[in-house]
Amino acid sequence: MNPAENPYNPGAGTPPPELTGRDGLIEGFGSTAKRLVRGMPGQSTVLVGLRGVGKTVLLNVFETQAAAAGAIAEHLEADQDTLTPDVLARRMRSALYKLAPQDSWGRGALAIALRVVASVRVTFAPRGVTLGLDVEPLSGTGDSGDLREDFVDLFVAVGEAAREHGRGVVLAIDELQNLPDDVFRALIMGLHRCSQLKLPVMAVGAGLPTIKGKAGDVKTYAERLFQFVEIGSLDTSDATRALVVPAEQSGIRFDGMAVDEILARSQGYPYFLQEWGFGVWNTAAGPIISREDVMRADRNVQTKLDESFFGVRMGRLTAQERQYLRAMADLGPGPYRSSDVASALGMTLQRAAPIRGRLMGKGMIWSSDYGETAFSVPLFAEYLRRDVVVPTRSIEPRR
């Protein structure tokens, strides 16, 4: 069929042609956003799930809903190196400028909040960096040097400005597992104070399950303040709709066996469904897609997945890290006990522990509450067991 008319949309954060299985969450957040603007901030939500389950897509939908409810949504992607206090403060400033027309910027709570942003920026600017400040810092507010205290000042000031203008502010933070712990802690403190004061500021986040492995107090605070919502693969009916509805809209039908075959191969994971839909569309002649069409598309789809989705991730690992993952996969379906993986590798637990730690840091694996390890990428064990040619480029850590 004509590739130019292919409706499927595999990618990172790319909106699917038919978003299924998330109606409850979308509706729920719609109400939360409306309540926020009315001065009743709800619990901040974190979407937790494996790679490719649709976290970013959902976060983007939440942002659209926040905007429709009259709130300002600021999108951030967390990164160990770049999500500094200054970046967060600048995003707050950007939200403040969107709260009201320019002639209000110099008055009331909005003017104060802009000055608190300047205070925080000056206080946490990296040494030697000159900031182009648009307003004077506000002495005594947001300038203690204690990130938590200063973020409380900042969030409260932003909340008061939003309230003054009958709006709300939603920080949407993707890849939340990468947020540096000190910024995470300060963010939680700021949000917590706003919820106590009923100020309309909240956060929605998305991240890998590794987020649950955050260190001690960060984890405790986060669990108290955030509502963690797990999102995963789609059930049979939602996965079927995600696959067949986009085709139907172009007059193309899947026969039942073709659907069963794709559901089995993708295991209902949204990203894989898009890749399968995309691949089969390009291979089939239509107007009915059969199981044979799926089999014919198999090589192309599998190669694309192996190279782009799985292979790219493998390429970022050292030889040792790849061996660790391979040992996990060879143990069968997870989750895996660290001691089993270590003995499969012929290593002591102590020697294997740093490799496991690095793989967690790279978001390849995560650890459940019981200390067991699982893959963060769906179907990764199957990929490894398919006896792939492991990329030879080794990136051994420098000593």
Ligand X SMILES: Nc1ncnc2c1ncn2[C@@H]1O[C@H](COP(=O)(O)OP(=O)(O)OP(=O)(O)O)[C@@H](O)[C@H]1O
Contact residues toward ligand X (CB under 6 A) are: 9-16, 19-22, 49, 51-57, 242, 270-271, 273-274
* Shortest separation between residue 203's beta carbon and ligand X, angstroms: 17
Dist. CA 142–CA 258, nearest whole Å = 59
Question: Which of residues 208 and 242 has its CB atom nearest to Mg ion in the complex?
Answer: 208
Question: Which of residues 151 and 276 has its CB atom nearest to ligand X in the complex?
Answer: 276
- For residue 119, what are its two tokens? 């205070």
* Shortest separation between residue 65's beta carbon and ligand X, angstroms: 15
Compute φ and ψ for 173, nearest 5 degrees. -115, 115
* Shortest separation between residue 228's beta carbon and Mg ion, angstroms: 16
Beta bridge partners of 204: 45, 172
Question: Which of residues 271 and 324 has its CB atom nearest to Mg ion in the complex?
Answer: 271
Question: Which of residues 288 and 312 has its CB atom nearest to ligand X in the complex?
Answer: 312
Question: Which of residues 22 and 322 has its CB atom nearest to ligand X in the complex?
Answer: 22
The verdict on 210 binding Mg ion (CB under 5 A) reads no
Q: Are 113 and 160 in contact (CB under 8 A)?
A: yes
Residue 246, binding choice from Mg ion, ligand X, none, Cβ under 5 to 8 Å by partner class: none
Stretch near Mg ion under the rule CB under 5 A, chosen from 48-56, 274-282, 329-337, 390-398: 48-56
* Shortest separation between residue 291's beta carbon and ligand X, angstroms: 21
* Shortest separation between residue 382's beta carbon and ligand X, angstroms: 17
Residue 19, binding choice from Mg ion, ligand X, none, Cβ under 5 to 8 Å by partner class: ligand X
Stretch near Mg ion under the rule CB under 5 A, chosen from 49-57, 193-201, 314-322, 369-377: 49-57
Tell me the pairing of strands 44-48 and 201-207. parallel
Residue 20, binding choice from ligand X, Mg ion, none, Cβ under 5 to 8 Å by partner class: ligand X
* Shortest separation between residue 313's beta carbon and Mg ion, angstroms: 14
Residue 22, binding choice from Mg ion, ligand X, none, Cβ under 5 to 8 Å by partner class: ligand X
Dist. CA 182–CA 180, nearest whole Å = 6
Question: Which of residues 23 and 330 has its CB atom nearest to ligand X in the complex?
Answer: 23
Q: Kindly tell me which residue out of 56, 119, 240, 283 binds Mg ion, with binding defined by CB under 5 A.
A: 56
* Shortest separation between residue 19's beta carbon and ligand X, angstroms: 5
Cβ-closest position to ligand X: 54
Stretch near Mg ion under the rule CB under 5 A, chosen from 53-61, 68-76, 147-155, 218-226: 53-61
Residue 352, binding choice from ligand X, Mg ion, none, Cβ under 5 to 8 Å by partner class: none
* Shortest separation between residue 340's beta carbon and ligand X, angstroms: 27
- 120 to each of 114, 135, 136, 176, how far by Cα in Å? 10, 12, 11, 22
Question: Which of residues 51 and 326 has its CB atom nearest to ligand X in the complex?
Answer: 51
Question: Any idea what the Cα angle at residue 110 is, between residues 109 and 116, rounded to 5°?
Answer: 85
Half-sphere exposure of 238 (CA within 13 A, CB side): 16
Interface ranges with Mg ion (CB under 5 A)? 55-56
